[in-house]
Each structure stands twice: as structure tokens, then as C-alpha cells.
Structure 1
Amino acid sequence: MKHWRISLANDPGAKVEFDCAQGMTIHAAARDAGYRVRASCKSGGCGICAATLRSGSVDYVSPVSKAKLEGCPPATVFLCQATPTQDCCFSTDWQWSVIDKTPLSRRMATAGKENKEE
């Protein structure tokens, strides 16, 4: 199965990179890589996950409303529905966050040790 390299960058200069398997949405790949990116409806209808495609190309796993796309700049891509067809670089006007994938029990145990040391 092919994998494409995805880069997300925002205005303050922060950048993350991760792999996206063929047929997987960029939003899902970001979550699998440990990043929380903006999304609400996850169907391309709200536009909150919109990013600007700087290089590369994408397809959509399901149709995105033409009316929604018409109101956006030409290189706008909805990450919740976009799947890459090659390596891609996107810019965003929003910040992502890192998902802590450590099991809750381990985080709780670690937090308890830190509190005892203080």
C-alpha cells in the first residue's frame, strides 16, 4: 500500500509531518500520527478543517458541496474528506495539538509519582 508524506504548517512557523496511507483521509492520518486537527462535521460541510494546498494533489473520499468550495480560495482543501494522491504540503490559519496516546492508567501513575516528589 502506498503512503504519502503530509506536511502541515501555520503562520507562526510551526510544522508537523506524518504519513498518510492511500485511501485514508488526511484528518484520520493526522489523528493516527498523534495530532488533533480541527474538524467538526467530518463530512466537508462545515469547512472548519479547511487548509490551503501548497504542493501535491488530493482526491475526495466523498463529494464536497460545490457551493462550499465556491466560497473558498482556489487551493482550499477539506482535510476531513481529502485523501492524497502524492506527497502534500498544506498551510493552515489554525494550530493543531498533540494527542497524548499514553494509556490513562500510566498517565495517572506518572502524575502520582510527580506529586510525591514535590
Structure 2
Amino acid sequence: MPTVTVQPEGVVVELREGETVLDGLHRAGYAYRIGCRRGGCGVCKVDLVAGDVEYRKPVADTVLPAAERGSGTCLTCRAVPTSDVCITLRNDRLRVIHPLLAFRPGSTSAGGTGTEN
């Protein structure tokens, strides 16, 4: 299964098969600035530093134009990693929303099991 690493926090979360970046981070106890959650607003855009994603559901070209896709912009509510990915958030920090699930750097698990902390 692919992982998503969020820099500069260093948080690593293992994603489930077909899971979006946003859904995987939320399942693991993390949040950041989001909007519509359906690919129509662009609020959840991040910079894809490494790895590859695909879009299995429609994304409006007006929200994520080809030039942005090509330069490494990723729409996390729709992006499904096809490999391990590394992202940086734009104008936001990763927040813990469920401390019993959230992975902390230095832990031996990839998050989301509920046994960390």
C-alpha cells in the first residue's frame, strides 16, 4: 500500500487501496484546510514533492489546470496515490483531530491503527 508523507512535519500515513490523500490523512487522525471535498473548489491543493497520483473521479480543469498538474499541484480530495507520495501543504499546518489515531514521528507504526501514543 502506498504511503503519504507530509513535510515539514514528517508525518507518514499508510493509505488503503484506492484511498485519496485527504481521506487517508483524515482516517489517521489528521486535518488541514479543505473545502467541498469533491474536486470543485481547489481549497485542498498541495504541492506534490515526490510520487505519482491519479484522479479516479472528475476534477474540473478550471480547478486543476493541466499546467498545475504538470508542475506538481495535487488536489488531495480526489488524488489517489499510485506510489508513495510526499506532499507539502499550502498556507496551513497539519493538525491532529483524533489523538488516539494520529501517527507521531518516531513511532514504529504508519498510523491509523489506534495503538499509537
TM over 0.5: same fold?
Answer: yes
SS at match of 2:63: helix
Match of 1:41 among 11, 36, 42: 36
User: TM-score if structure 1 supplies the norm length?
Assistant: 0.74
**Cα gap change, 1:51 to 1:72, in 2 (>3 Å):** farther
Count of aligned pairs: 97
Query: Does structure 1 conserve the Cα–Cα contact (< 8 Å) formed by 2:64 and 2:75?
Result: no
Q: Identity of aligned pairs, percent? A: 30
| Structure 1 residue aligned with 2:110 | none
**Cα gap change, 1:38 to 1:79, in 2 (>3 Å):** same
Distance 2:28 2:67 in 1: 28
- Code of the residue aligned with 2:56 in structure 1: it is V
* Higher fraction of strand: 1
- Structure 1 residue ranges, 4+ long, deviating more than 3 angstroms after superposition: none
The offset of 1:60, in angstroms, is: 1.1
In structure 1, the gaps of 5 or more residues are 103-118
- Code of the residue aligned with 1:26 in structure 2: it is V
Q: CA RMSD in A?
A: 1.8
Match of 2:78 among 76, 81, 87: 81
* Higher fraction of helix: 1
In structure 2, the gaps of 5 or more residues are 101-117
User: TM-score if structure 2 supplies the norm length?
Assistant: 0.74
Instruction: Flag the structure with larger Rg.
Output: 1
